[in-house]
Amino acid sequence: MKQTLLNERYPLFVLRLDRDETDYQSVDAICNYFRGCIEAHRCGQFIAVFDHYAHTCSLPDGAVESDIRAAKNVLFCFGLTLPSAEILGLRPRSIGVAELDHQFVISFMEAPMPLANAAMEDWALGLRQTDAEPENGRPHTALI
């Protein structure tokens, strides 16, 4: 998993998983996995799964990158505290799950709370099979 800046502005964590690196073979299965992780966390509150792909495709001017086959966001909250009214602008959290032809892309924006970042990173890395043997002797996971 790698941390990067999207559009030189938004701090993102991104994990690319080849299909043979995970037992999960659909966006829905991965979203259900994340829902289970959220519901099992002492501070997590699952909110919804948003079908971003369907929404964008339904718009008259909607455009989706041709490589994307499916794209959903898992919405949830870790809100341990409400230190200010403004903090609401940073909540709730979202984990993006996109399906490409040969891989899945998991992404989420850096949270202001280290506990949330650690949990989301652990959950994402939990998608990877621990017994997967790369064909060429090198790890499959491509980080951006």
What does the pLDDT look like over 4-40, one tens digit per residue?
Answer: 765 566 789 999 999 999 999 999 999 999 999 999 9
Q: Quote the pLDDT of residue 7.
A: 59
Confidence of residue 83 (pLDDT cuts 50, 70, 90): confident
Q: Quote the pLDDT of residue 140.
A: 37
Confidence of residue 88 (pLDDT cuts 50, 70, 90): confident
Domain ranges of the chain: 2-125
DSSP the chain: -EEEEETTTEEEEEEEEEGGGBS--SHHHHHHHHHHHHHHSTT-EEEEEEEHHHHHHHSTT----TT-SEEEEEEEE-------SGGGGG-SEEEEEEE-SSEEEEEEEPPSSHHHHHHHHHHHHTTB-SSPPPTTSS---B--
Q: Which CATH class is domain 2-125?
A: alpha beta
Higher pLDDT, 52 or 111: 52
Does residue 92 carry a pLDDT above 70?
Answer: yes
Q: Quote the pLDDT of residue 117.
A: 92
Q: Quote the pLDDT of residue 6.
A: 58
